[in-house]
Each structure stands twice: as structure tokens, then as C-alpha cells.
Amino acid sequence: MNDYLLILASAALVSHLLLQRQPSSRLRLHVCGLAGALSITLGVTGGRLLEGLIVAPWHLQDLRLFLLLPWLGLLAWGIPQVLARLRPQWPCDHLALPLLGNAVLLGLALAVMADTPPWLATLSCGVLAGLGFWLALALFDDLHQRSQHAEIPAALRGLPITLIGTGVTALAFSGLNGLFTQ
């Protein structure tokens, strides 16, 4: 349940940062979703690798965050650079700051470092969380576009209606809690 809230809140805030900065296109939104999914997948697996190679052997459990932040910063800077070189026509400029502020990436990487699940579970957690972030980002873009054309009071326009949408979506996802338990 907490993972759903983390994904939704992070997607809502990143979506708000992206959509308020400049007019958004669907391509820019999906490039950001792809970059977010890649950074989550690589961040979680890199966090698991850091745990196995550095933190556990040297008993540096208290320094997990300080070891993880440079890795996440490198990913936030490097993934848009790689995407811009692979696809020059994609709008990859100004993606590093939203990727750096992605709470899903930091939260899941710290959770994986603390639990140390098997490698396949770590990889699947990263891929599924990345795809969920991409889906939530697309949903919040649709919510933003619909709220621009609806009659919403001035006090609720922008981030407040996005956060209300986040709460309603989190309530809907909480109905799925416990559905896939063993």
C-alpha cells in the first residue's frame, strides 16, 4: 500500500513540475516516463549491488543513503544524456531535475538495500515500479489536461486538484491491497 502512495505522489509532483514548466507534449511526457522507468530500474538494481559489494561486507548500514545519493545523481544526469544521444529528436532537455527529485527511486532503492531480496525479485520490482510510475505520469497528464477545460474553482487549479486526484487514485488502488497475497 505504501508503494502505491509513493508512486502516485511522486508521479503527481513530477507531473506538476513538468507540466507547469512549459507546454507539454505527449512525446515529452513519454520520454520522461521512459527516463523515470529506466532510472528506477537501474537505481534499484544498483542499490542492491551497492548493498552486496560495499554496505554489507564493510558494515556501513548507517551510510546507505550517502552511498546511494551519488549513484542516483549519476543516473539522473546520465539517462537523459544517453537518451538524447540515442534519439536526438526526443525532447530530453531539463529532465535531470525531475528525475533527481523522484521519491519512488530513492524509497525503493533504500527498501531494496534494507531487505536484500533475490536478484530476480529486485529486477522485477524495479521494472514494475518504473512501468507503474510511467502509467501514473500519463494518468496525471490526462487529469491535468481535463482539469484545464473543466470548471474548477480557482483555489483548486494546478497542484491542489492534482493532489486530490492522487488521493482518489490511491483510494482506488488500496482496494487492490492484499489481492495477490499467498
State the Rg of the chain over Cα.
Answer: 17
What is the secondary structure of 15-38 as a DSSP string? HHHHHHHS---HHHHHHHHHHHHH
Domain ranges of the chain: 2-174
Nearest-angstrom CA–CA distance, 84 and 37: 16
**Residue 105: which of 129, 128, 81 has the closest Cα?**
129
Asked if 73 and 42 touch (Cβ cutoff 8 Å), the reply is: no
Is residue 138 within 8 Å of residue 75, measured between CB atoms? no
**How far apart (Å, rounded) are the C-alpha atoms in residues 22 and 53?**
42
Gap between the Cα atoms of 7 and 131, Å rounded: 10
Do residues 162 and 143 lie in contact, with contact meaning Cβ atoms separated by under 8 Å?
A: yes
- Per residue of the chain (182 residues), what is the pLDDT tens digit? 566 666 667 766 666 666 555 556 888 889 988 999 999 999 999 999 999 999 999 999 888 889 898 999 999 999 999 999 999 999 888 888 778 777 778 888 888 888 888 999 999 988 988 898 888 888 878 887 888 778 888 888 877 887 888 788 878 777 777 766 65
**What pLDDT score does 88 carry?**
93
DSSP 52: I
